[in-house]
Structure formats: C-alpha cells, structure tokens
Amino acid sequence: MRYIADFHIHSKYSRATSREMDLEHISEWAKIKGIQIVGTGDFTHPEWLEEIKNKLEPAEAGLFKFKNSSSAIRFILTTEISCIYSKGNKVRKIHLVFFAPNLESVEKFNTQLGWTGGNLKSDGRPILGMDVKELVKIALDISKDFFIVPAHIWTPWFSVFGSKSGFNSIEECFEEYTNNIFALETGLSSDPAMNWMVSGLDKYTLISNSDAHSPAKLGREANIFEGSEIDYFKIIEAIKQGGKENELPLKMKATIEFFPEEGKYHYDGHRVCDVCLAPKETKKYNGICPKCGRPLTVGVLYRVGELADRDEGFKPKNSLPFYNLVPLQEIIADSLNLTTVSQKVKNEYDNLIKNFDNEFNVLLDVSEQNLMEKIDLRIAKGIINVRQGKVGKEPGYDGVFGKIRVSPNGNIEKKKQKKQESLF
C-alpha cells in the first residue's frame, strides 16, 4: 500500500498562519490531497498540545487518529523549533523539525524547554537562544526515539546551510551529535538533484514537506512510502534507510517536490528593488544590488554552487527518486489563464477531486487518456506538461515565490530562460 506523508506543517498558533490550521481542517485537506500521514506541527505550544490530547487518541504505535472516528488519516507528533545563537563569531539561525514517539516524551521535552527560558506560548514555532546540539541533547536524553531533521536546509536566513547564518557542513553545526542526524529536509527552493551535487550529503536521506501555513498548502511537498503496515517506529526506520536495499515492512520510495524555481529563495535578489539574478549575474555584481548598492539576498542555487563538489546531473548510489509537481489549483489557474482564487478554478478543482478521489491521484496516477477524455483539455494538457517537466519557470528570489507556467506560453518562457537555469 502507498502512504503519502507530510510531516512538517504548522498550526493556527504559529505566526502568519491561517485560523483554519486546526485538526479538523488539516484532516479534511489531507484527505482531499491524498495524504495518509500528517504531522501535528507545533507540539511545543501548550494550547495546541491540549487540543491534540483532547481530540486525538492513540492508533498504531506513535500515531494518532480522531477520537470516535473511522477516518484513515493518521497524525504524527512533530514540531519546528528556531534556534538563534552565536557560534564561530557569527549569528546562527537554524530551524529543526522534531518527531516525538509519544505524548509523554513531548510533555517532558516541553517542560525542559521551559526551564531553559523558552517562551513556548509566544509562537507555535518557538525561538530558543541555544546551540542546536544542546537542543538535540535535551531531546535524546528524554527519549532515544526522538528524531531530528534540519529544516529547509538551504533557506538563506534560517537553515543549516543558509547563506546568511548557516554552516558549511552538518559536522560543523552538530559536532558530536552529528551521528544523530539521519535525514535533511530539502525545502521548497531546492530538490534532490541539487543536493546530490554535494557529496557530504550522500549519507543523509532527503525528505520533503510542505511547511504549510494554510490547509490548502498541505502536500505541496511530501514523502511517499510503501508497505503493509505503519507506525511511528516503522516510519522513522524507513526514513533512516532511505533508498538502501532492505527488507523492512515499510519503505520510503520517493519524494514529491516543487520545481525548485517556484521556491521563494531559489535565485538571488532584492525584493524591494525588484532585482532577481542568477548566480552568474550575482558574481558579476560581487553580491551587491545594482540598484541600491546593498548586499543581495543570496539564494539557494548560489549557495548550493558554493558547496558543490560535483557536476549537475550526478546521481548518488541509493538515492531516492522524486517527482517535481505543481499544486493542482495552480495548474488549473494557469491553464485557464485565471487566478487561483477565482470561482471557476475552485469549481474545476472540486470537480477533479470528486471524479478522481484526491489531488495526488490526479497529479500522479490518472492516465493521460483518462485526463484527456474526462476533463477540460487545457487542464489535462497542463497536468501532462507538469508530469513531463515541460514547464516555464520564473525563479523566486528574496522571499518572492517563483512561477511555474504549464501552458504553451510557459514553454516558450522556459526557452527564454534556459541559459539562466544552470548553477553558474
């Protein structure tokens, strides 16, 4: 059986997050998207944790379901934490995703964080002034079954490799706790192919998650597992093994990714100056904005290039396959030359879900013939274009999301930008 999982999301208690990020809406949209396993997010927030305890009950080991419900959606206890601290004469801002095996461990973890002075009530994603390795130690001293993943590892401002506050290696960041890190989250602005250019990442499984702040954004990136049964421990072991040959009852099979150009930090630039530059152009300007003379926000593509020790196209042994996809509402909107919030786009989306059960079925499984025969031809062609990678790309930069064009005009746009898409 196939299981699609989105582990890193946020609740309504995180900043800049929809009020509808409650358990009911998360579960509803997980079903619409075709997700079977979803993170709770934000388990460090006391009010959200109370909701989790009041509304969910244990299912399989380490997984949860709605009380008195036949819903097949499973929740796994997760949270994101922001660490801001000084190390090596530089301010570091690193985000980590924590997976917890049970509520008892979560409560002990939250208590310990409170003792360190962390204000867990202020935000679903709390900010702590401690070295990430100390945070990892706290978690593992409580339970060896905590699982820790560096979040969106290339994002400029808040990640382990970020151009503004990161490190040059996992070892430099986690020191003696490096061996407790088994997986890395690619983030929206990179995909596995980019990460494969850095040989130091080969031993880590690359996972992908939506980091959703509203229910409709669930599953924009996700993970695909296959197996006969699931629980917390089987999921974690499947992630640890990644693409290695194994006889586990649950295996990780692939990830679902943005086209990285759609991520809001793929290229370099200055949002206020409307300046977007490929790495080669950034080097020409010595990292300085040609309009205002201030330093540019150096994006993911440039940063990968700085740490890369392989050419584009290299594929490591045991690497997992991945699918670059575009959210279905965006495909519909671009195919019909409308906005994603238009009523016609909503109607078309609802109709597709009604006919084909969920979004991932539409994006991954429904045959081309079935699409061409049963839905608007323009939308069918858009979906097929995405599957085949025949899309136009306008890279995101400095906090501005990029755009993926799935219509014929988008393909023309791709040709125009082809030279700018290489690393250098």
Q: Per-residue pLDDT averaged across 189-197, rounded?
A: 98
With tokens 């009020």, the residue in question is 19
* Cα–Cα distance measured from residue 242 to residue 236, given in angstroms and rounded to the nearest whole number: 10
**Burial code of 144-178, b = ≥16 C-beta within 10 A, e = fewer?**
ebbbbbbbbbbbbebbbbbbbbbbeebeebbeebe
The answer to whether 282 and 302 are in contact (CB under 8 A) is yes
Q: Per-residue pLDDT averaged across 169-182, rounded?
A: 98
Given pLDDT bands bounded at 50, 70 and 90, which one contains residue 319?
Answer: very high
Q: Which residues pair with 256 in a beta bridge?
A: 222, 323
* Cα–Cα distance measured from residue 171 to residue 200, given in angstroms and rounded to the nearest whole number: 10
**Average pLDDT value over all residues in the chain:** 95
Q: What is the pLDDT of residues 249-299, one digit of tens each?
A: 999 999 999 999 999 999 999 999 999 999 999 999 999 999 999 999 999
Q: What is the pLDDT of residues 39-60, one digit of tens each?
A: 999 999 999 999 999 999 999 9
Give the DSSP letter of residue 243.
T
Whether the predicted pLDDT of 34 surpasses 90: yes
Q: Per-residue pLDDT averaged across 209-226, rounded?
A: 98
Q: Per-residue pLDDT averaged across 144-172, rounded?
A: 97
Say what the pLDDT of residue 118 is: 83
Say what the pLDDT of residue 159 is: 98
* Cα–Cα distance measured from residue 393 to residue 251, given in angstroms and rounded to the nearest whole number: 32
Residue-by-residue DSSP string for 135-173: HHHHHHHH-TT-EEEE-STT-SSSSTT-TTT--SSHHHH
Q: Report pTM.
A: 0.94
Q: Per-residue pLDDT averaged across 333-362, rounded?
A: 97
Q: Is 252 helix (H, G, I), strand (E, B) or coil?
A: strand
With tokens 């599957």, the residue in question is 387
* Cα–Cα distance measured from residue 244 to residue 233, given in angstroms and rounded to the nearest whole number: 17
Q: Judging by DSSP bridges, how do beta strands 275-277 and 127-128 pair with one another?
A: unpaired
**Residue 62 CB burial class (10 angstroms; 0-12, 13-18, ≥19):** buried
Say what the pLDDT of residue 409 is: 56
Say what the pLDDT of residue 416 is: 38
Determine the CATH number of domain 2-261. Answer: 3.20.20.140
Percent of the chain with pLDDT over 90: 94
* Cα–Cα distance measured from residue 404 to residue 84, given in angstroms and rounded to the nearest whole number: 33
Domain ranges of the chain: 2-261, 327-388
Say what the pLDDT of residue 7 is: 98
- Residue 23's closest CA among 95, 62, 71? 71
Whether the predicted pLDDT of 412 surpasses 90: no
Say what the pLDDT of residue 423 is: 33
Angle of helix 377-388 versus helix 328-336 axis, rounded to 10: 120
Given pLDDT bands bounded at 50, 70 and 90, which one contains residue 407?
Answer: confident
Q: What are phi and psi of 18, to 5 degrees?
A: -60, 145
Q: Is 30 helix (H, G, I), strand (E, B) or coil?
A: helix
Q: Residue 301: how many CB atoms within 10 A of its CB?
A: 28
Q: What is the pLDDT of residues 226-242, one digit of tens each?
A: 999 999 999 999 999 99
Residue 276, token pair as written in the block: 């977007």
Q: Is 394 helix (H, G, I), strand (E, B) or coil?
A: strand
**Residue, of 116 and 154, whose pLDDT is higher:** 154
Given pLDDT bands bounded at 50, 70 and 90, which one contains residue 201?
Answer: very high
